[in-house]
Structure 1
Amino acid sequence: MSREESQAQTRERLIDTAQQLFVANGYGGASIRDIANKAGYSQGAFYSNFASKEDVLLELLRRHMTAEATHLSRVMSGDGDDSEQIFAELDAWASTLNHDADWCMLSIELQLHANRSQTFAVEYQKVWDRHRSDLGQVIGQLFHKLGRIPPAEPAELAAAFMALSHGLALQRMSTRPDPSGSLIMAFLRGLIANAEREKAG
């Protein structure tokens, strides 16, 4: 294994371990020493990859949001504009939304820590804004493919759906089965059905 491969493996193990401990013990209950020890490394190995626990939190957030935006962009990148096919693919994505209990717990930790730490909140907002922009592009493409005019700026609609998803995640522990995906799709279908049609030409 090359030095670069070994370092990448160390980084991934630290990220995975940090996620497990954040979920199990909360952000405040997981120390850098705990993360390093459980992953099988020294604290020096942690600091050679991350400046702080907050950096790990932000990396977890970026990965989750990037994967979501990439998947939805792939759905919209197809040449077809058949509404049934598009909705079938979106329904398939929505059916898995918030089913990862670990991510639901972690998303709560992220929001709580952003409320407590001003420096983290600034970086958190940057990642959030990027995701809102990416999802806004997807929503804009969706309405255009279906020949409809969005009832609000696509980025604003994206922010509303993100808030709905995270709000439902906060209720995840008391709701079985999880309704997040079906509710988001119900709202989306309603917005599209009531949206004005684009003018021909």
Structure 2
Amino acid sequence: MSRVRTRPTRDDTREKLFEAAARVFEEQGIGGASIEAIAAAAGFTRGAFYSNFTSKDELIFAMLEDHVEQSVRRCLDLLAQHQNLADFLEALRTMDRSRQDPLGRSPLLHMEMILFVARAEKRRPELAKRLRARRKLITDIVTATAKNGGRNNALNPEWTGAVVLALEDGFRLHRLIDPETTPADSFLRAITDLHRAIGVASA
């Protein structure tokens, strides 16, 4: 009886490279990590790496893109189930983060990759696309939850999206620097408090 060999799909290969790259980046630093080390950590040859990405920079952009896409998908799924902002925030708080992509599981690596890309001016437009996608996601959430809460005119969704995103990144950085005084749920607690304050002010 012949044995059928199943070749990994392109998505499987990319996912393994993402996971391997995250481990190598954390161990060796993004700048010091080589393509050979990433490919070996994933169990692939150098040729397998180049069949998916032309460079380490392209791999990094792909990891950031994948992180944004997964974040958008996850949040929109939650929003479809919890259109009230308080319920949505609670669903975010209790979400299982162990199954997220490498950047979702490691805020430090996520921040390091953003800084690595931002240091080169020519790379910044690509990074800006990811920033706009994250901002649009928050703007859509603000719009949907405000409508469901009867506050259509209470907030400027675009500006609120920008403020909320800056708040999230700020708390992420603060937690990396001083985790003792910055609990893991600081961002969600802040958004919950702001939501309550806006509710009182508009009542």
Distance 2:86 2:152 in 1: 17
Structure 1 partner of 2:28: 25
Query: Which of 103, 108, 129 does residue 105 from structure 1 map onto?
Result: 108
Does the alignment pair 1:87 with 2:89?
A: no
Structure 1 partner of 2:58: 55
Distance 1:19 1:149 in 2: 41
Distance 1:133 1:8 in 2: 26
Structure 2 partner of 1:199: none
Deviations 1:6-55 (A, max 9, x none): 43332221111111222333311222121112112222211110122222
CA RMSD of aligned residues (A): 2.8
Deviations 1:117-165 (A, max 9, x none): 1232111111211221122111101100000035443122112111111
Does the alignment pair 1:10 with 2:13?
A: yes
The alignment's TM-score, normalised by the length of structure 1, stands at: 0.79
How many residues are paired up? 191
Cα deviation, residue 96, structure 1: 5.4
Distance 1:9 1:165 in 2: 30
Does the alignment pair 1:42 with 2:45?
A: yes
Structure 1 partner of 2:162: 159
Residue type of the alignment partner of 1:87: A
Residue type of the alignment partner of 1:114: V
Cα deviation, residue 182, structure 1: 1.4
What SS does the aligned partner of 2:106 have? helix
Distance 1:151 1:22 in 2: 44
Contact 1:136 1:158 in 2 (8 A): yes
Q: Structure 2: 5+ residue runs without aligned partners?
A: none
Residue type of the alignment partner of 2:144: Q
Q: Structure 1: 5+ residue runs without aligned partners?
A: 197-201
Cα distance change of structure 1 residues 68 and 9 upon mapping to structure 2, 3 Å threshold: closer
Query: Which of 183, 187, 190 does residue 197 from structure 2 map onto?
Result: 190
Paired residues for 1:76-155 under 5 Å: 76-78=79-81, 83=84, 86-94=85-93, 102-155=105-158
Structure number with greater CO (CA < 8 Å, separation at least 6) is 1
Residue type of the alignment partner of 2:187: S
